[in-house]
Amino acid sequence: MSLLSYLINGISLGSVYAIIALGYTMVYGIAKMLNFAHGDVIMVGGYVVFVLASGMGLPPILAVLISMVVCTVLGMVIERVAYKPLRMAASPLAVLITAIGVSYLLQNLALLLFGANTKSFTSVVTIPAIVLAEGQLTISGETIVTIIACIVIMVGLTAFIKKTKAGQAMLAVSEDKGAAQLMGINVNGTIALTFAIGSALAAVAGVLLCSTYPSLTPYTGAMPGIKAFVAAVFGGIGSIPGAMIGGILLGIIEILGKAYISSQMADAIVFAVLIVVLLVKPTGILGKEIQEKV
Amino acid sequence: MNKMNKTTKQNMVTYAIVIIAYIIVMLLGVTGHISSLMEGLLVPLCIYVILAVSLNLVVGILGELSLGHAGFMCVGAFAGSFFSMCTKEAMPSGLRFLLALLIGAAVAAVFGILIGIPVLRLRGDYLAIVTLAFGEIIKNLMNVLYIGRDETGFHFSMKDSMALGLSPEGKTIINGPQGITGTPHDASFTIGVVLILLTLFMILNLIHSRDGRAIMAIRDNRIAAESIGINVTKYKLMAFTLSASIAGVAGVLYAHNLSTLTALPKNFGYNMSIMILVFVVLGGIGNIRGSVISAVVLTLLPELLRGLSDYRMLIYAVVLIAMMLFNWSPKAVTFRERYSLKRLLSRKETPDNHAAQ
Amino acid sequence: MALLDVQNLCISFGGLRAVDDFEIHIEKGQLYGLIGPNGAGKTTVFNLLTGVYRPNEGIIRLDGTDITGKKTIEINKAGIARTFQNIRLFKGMSVLDNVKVGLHNHYRYSSLAGILRTPAYRRVEKEMDARAMELLEVFDLHGEASHLASNLPYGKQRKLEIARALATNPKLLLLDEPAAGMNPNETRELMDTIRLIRDRFDMTILLIEHDMKLVSGICEALTVLNFGRILAQGGTAAVLNDPQVITAYLGE
């Protein structure tokens, strides 16, 4: 029974990673950049909900929606101000370092506004826990909401990309920016849209993460951000189902590692698995092999 | 030849900058113009410079992105510190520290080879994330490592200090999350500067040698390098290992500057690796002298802004973003080229900048 | 015995036979052309000869030694050097250093000697400089030795790539569209240079080219590829007058 409950916890944590990883992977696919600040957008999402729901007493759903809007705008502003001018830069490292700068900026803004001490986050989930097998297995409301949210997002995103013009444009831009431009696709707009969606997802992930692990600091987003990035690479960066699979596997590995091997070593185990996967399949589980043309 | 003289001259300028900075600091120190806060920063400054220069070998000269540099520093720090703890009473401090530095370098180099062999065939961002992962694993392992010694020899555990089963006279040397306590304070600013000069000497001379050319050829065009018989794996590994080993030296210096050595996210986590990468990129990718200068400026900047207390890291972040945009955005680059002082004064085409100064 | 002797060379990519039953025999000192319409598999042949791809079938012999399936580095050491269709220089390095990288395997000193700048380092570097300058002079690039390779004009970049390949002291030089992007004047100059290389270095050269003036002007023998297969092979004049070849080039 305990294995089952660990598995469920793992899937729940993995679902959060998957939602973050989706943002990472979409941005990577389209802008070919590692958005190091993505994790910090999660943290911003958490603080917005904290202020609105716990501070101002707004209904949780409304708080979450506002938080999504705030993060969406934030994501687009970051892209416009900090990343877009560097899109044609001589070195891809330039935009990476700028993203690190944005990450520092968001963390320190939060530090200034909210202080360094941990805020205890009140869960936005009001669904009661499900108790199964005569009390031996409890599935918390947060877990249920997280897993459902993840499935809904996954299905919604896949449909968006397959069925809508904007989604097709995203695919086209990620394949070949130049060709997409020639086909009349608004490349800049498409990239902005990708950042908007990724950031809105980050807000959702932030709320879910803080509801499950209810402590919020300016650095809350950093490690989940890195882990989600690992998950995206793990599944094959640029691939949406890959981010999903990578995220969930990572969550399961982390929780099982914590439970059965060593709680201190959980992170090391996650990273070790990533290394093994990449050494066996250098582009991740669902990643495409790219051959350099001679 | 003319070109030879030019690079030698460039190198001499770099050494001179370091030596002059050292003399100035020493003079200020003698005349009592250095606050105790600044004094405490001198050895860390040396450490950051060494780390930045050594990372530039991988990022700028080899052209591969590594985010695990702090991991090698961590390995070097623990290896060197462990050695010093074991030989604390056995030898004079000078010899002991020299050996500690060599051991730190050697152990970090071994890790460099062990990690480099499997990962260097990955490219770009994949290499970045795998090196980050290795750095985190190393930091994590140090937190569960327990080594003690008693009259029967060394005892080792990954569980806790009790599991070492030491006799009552035995002593725990590496104590898991508490790390190593009581490393002798052998590091000094002078030693730090000497190590900077040695690092610069090694890397600058390497760049202008046969090996350095092979490494840069791989950076510029791997396929072409292979086509003219350059052993890509060998030279990638050489650059990566040398860089790791120098980071190990920086780690030994770090360990011998503090009484307690622990592996925290702050000192050996990916954030540290990223900070060093920031030094390298702002100083100019492949520009060794730039790494020295940017490591110094960016380490001092937050301290100089200390008066602004809470706002200092915020300002640091804004400055970082602004500098990146100014330095790298194609629009800003064109703007600067058009209105550059040099050009306005001389009205001449800017001469070629050699990639590695 | 032929310097390059290739038999029954085949490679497929995902079911598509990119090169099928390719064979070629090039004598020492010959100037040989490999021509054919776009997508005929010419560059793929080069990639097979230089170990970028491993052939599915066939055998490649250089000067009597079997080099089939060897790695690019080993093949270069065995004596094949090449240039690329899309120029691949070491752009962040000087013109001189580009050639010196080509000399890498022929001039040696230890890594330690390089770091310590021992007399051995100084002596070997001097020799390398001299040899590299000699090569650059052949291509009239010695005046730009200290320039960054990426700052050279296009035509000179092509020449530098040839100089770099020659620096590895090959037995066989493969040139992939050396005249691409050149104006008629530059092409004429290039033809002289190629002849000069052959005569001065006693070199055997196999080149891919679309410029028929260049091909008919300097190549002694030709192989025509079409859809991965050999369409015609033999002396230049005979091949160029072959009705099949004319059809392939001009269409029906």
Q: What pLDDT was estimated at residue B1?
A: 46
Q: What pLDDT was estimated at residue B356?
A: 41
Q: What pLDDT was estimated at residue B355?
A: 42
Q: Which of C115, C123, C152, C164 to mutate to test the interface with B (most CBs of B within 10 A)?
A: C115
Residues 6+ apart with CB under 8 A from B305: B311, B312, B315, B316
Write down all domains in chain C, each with its CATH number in brackets. Answer: 1-79+170-252 (3.40.50.300), 89-169 (no CATH)
Which is nearest to A190 in space by CA: A166, A165, A161?
Answer: A166
Which is nearest to A16 in space by CA: A281, A255, A195, A193?
Answer: A255
Q: How much is the average pLDDT of B199-223? A: 96
Q: What pLDDT was estimated at residue B110?
A: 97
Structure tokens at C39: 């997508």
Is a pLDDT exceeding 80 seen at residue B39?
yes
Distance from CA of B291 to the nearest CA of A (A): 15
Cβ distance B121 to A282 less than 8 Å, yes or no, reads yes
Residues 6+ apart with CB under 8 A from C52: A294, B223, C46, C72
Structure tokens at C75: 């093949």
Neighbours of chain B (3+ CB pairs under 8 A): A, C
Give the three-state DSSP class for A76. Answer: helix
- Cβ neighbours of C235 (radius 10 Å): 12
Is a pLDDT exceeding 70 seen at residue C250?
no
Q: What pLDDT was estimated at residue A267?
A: 87
Nearest to B324 among A101, A112, A279 (CB): A101
Which residues are bridge partners to C19 per DSSP? C11
How many residues does this entry show for chain A?
A: 294
Which is nearest to B109 in space by CA: B56, B68, B72?
Answer: B72
Give the Cα separation of C191 and C205 in Å (integer).
Answer: 12
**Residue C177 CB burial class (10 angstroms; 0-12, 13-18, ≥19):** buried
Q: Mind listing the pLDDT tens digit for each residue in B154-200?
A: 988 888 888 888 888 888 899 989 999 999 999 999 999 999 999 99
Is a pLDDT exceeding 80 seen at residue B274?
yes
Q: Return the axis-axis angle of helices B288-304 and B189-207, rounded to nearest 10°.
A: 150
Nearest to B226 among C72, C147, C165 (CB): C72
Give the Cα separation of C169 and B27 in Å (integer).
Answer: 57
Q: Which residues of C touch B202 (CB under 8 A)?
A: 115
Cβ distance C90 to B224 less than 8 Å, yes or no, reads yes
Give the Cα separation of C146 and B21 in Å (integer).
Answer: 32
Q: Identity (one letter) of the amino acid at B137?
A: I
Q: What pLDDT was estimated at residue B163?
A: 83
- Are A49 and A206 in contact, with CB atoms under 8 Å apart? yes
Q: Mind listing the pLDDT tens digit for each residue in A224-272?
A: 998 998 899 888 888 888 999 999 999 999 999 999 888 888 889 999 9
Give the Cα separation of B221 and B210 in Å (integer).
Answer: 17
**Residue C200 CB burial class (10 angstroms; 0-12, 13-18, ≥19):** exposed
Is a pLDDT exceeding 70 seen at residue B354?
no
Phi, psi of B322 (to 5 degrees): -60, -40
Q: What pLDDT was estimated at residue A101?
A: 93
Cβ distance C114 to B205 less than 8 Å, yes or no, reads yes
Q: Mind listing the pLDDT tens digit for each residue in A91-106?
A: 888 898 899 999 999 9
Q: What pLDDT was estimated at residue A287?
A: 77
Structure tokens at C47: 């990639």
Most confident of A179-188, B210-219, B281-290, C187-196: B210-219
Is a pLDDT exceeding 60 seen at residue C39?
yes
Structure tokens at A118: 């941990």
Mean pLDDT score of chain C: 93
The model carries a pTM of 0.90
Distance from CA of B229 to the nearest CA of C (A): 4
Q: Which residues of B touch C77 (CB under 8 A)?
A: 229
Q: Mind listing the pLDDT tens digit for each residue in C126-152?
A: 999 999 999 999 999 999 999 999 999
Residue B350 pLDDT grade (very low, low, confident, very high; cuts 50, 70, 90): very low
Q: How much is the average pLDDT of C143-163? A: 93
Q: Which residues of B touch C73 (CB under 8 A)?
A: 226, 229-232
- Are B148 and B141 in contact, with CB atoms under 8 Å apart? no
Nearest to C73 among B217, B229, B355 (CB): B229
Give the three-state DSSP class for C226. Answer: strand
Which position has the token pair 């099949």?
C244
User: Most distant CA pair in chain B: distance in Å?
Assistant: 79
**Segments of chain A scoring below 70 in pLDDT:** 1, 289-294
Mean pLDDT score of chain B: 89
Q: Which residues of A touch B277 (CB under 8 A)?
A: 93, 97, 100
Phi, psi of C25 (to 5 degrees): -135, 115
Write down all domains in chain B, each with its CATH number in brackets. Answer: 2-346 (1.10.3470)
Q: What pLDDT was estimated at residue B272?
A: 93
Give the Cα separation of A274 and A84 in Å (integer).
Answer: 31
Q: What pLDDT was estimated at residue A1?
A: 61
Phi, psi of C40 (to 5 degrees): -80, -15
Neighbours of chain A (3+ CB pairs under 8 A): B, C
Is a pLDDT exceeding 80 seen at residue B305?
no
- Are A63 and A97 in contact, with CB atoms under 8 Å apart? no
Which position has the token pair 């604390």?
B88
Give the Cα separation of B150 and A98 in Å (integer).
Answer: 51
Q: Tell me the percentage of chain B whose pLDDT exceeds 70.
A: 93
Q: What pLDDT was estimated at residue A142?
A: 87
Between B74 and A5, the higher pLDDT residue: B74
Give the three-state DSSP class for A163. Answer: helix
Residue C121 contacts A, CB cutoff 8 Å = no
List the Cα angle A223/B128/A26 in 5-degree steps. Answer: 70
Per-residue HEC secondary structure of chain B comes to CHHHHHHHHHHHHHHHHHHHHHHHHHHHHHCCCCCHHHHHHHHHHHHHHHHHHHHHHHHHHHCCCCCCHHHHHHHHHHHHHHHHHHCCCCCCHHHHHHHHHHHHHHHHHHHHHHHHHHHCCCCHHHHHHHHHHHHHHHHHHHCCCEEEEECCEEEEECCCHHHHCCCCCCEEEEEHHHCEECCCCCCCHHHHHHHHHHHHHHHHHHHCCHHHHHHHHHHHCHHHHHHCCCCHHHHHHHHHHHHHHHHHHHHHHHHCCCCEECCCHHHHCHHHHHHHHHHHHHHCCCCHHHHHHHHHHHHHHHHHHHHHHHHHHHHHHHHHHHHHHHHHCHHHHHHHHHHCHHHHHHCCCCCCCCCCC
Give the Cα separation of B230 and B242 in Å (integer).
Answer: 18
**Which value does ipTM take for this structure?**
0.93
Q: What pLDDT was estimated at residue A283?
A: 81
Which is nearest to A147 in space by CA: A204, A79, A74?
Answer: A204
Give the three-state DSSP class for A162. Answer: helix
Structure tokens at C91: 């752009």
Q: Which residues of C touch B223 (CB under 8 A)?
A: 52, 84, 88
Distance from CA of B225 to the nearest CA of C (A): 8
- Are C166 and C159 in contact, with CB atoms under 8 Å apart? no
Give the three-state DSSP class for C112. Answer: helix
| Contact pairs from chain A to chain B, CB under 8 Å | 131
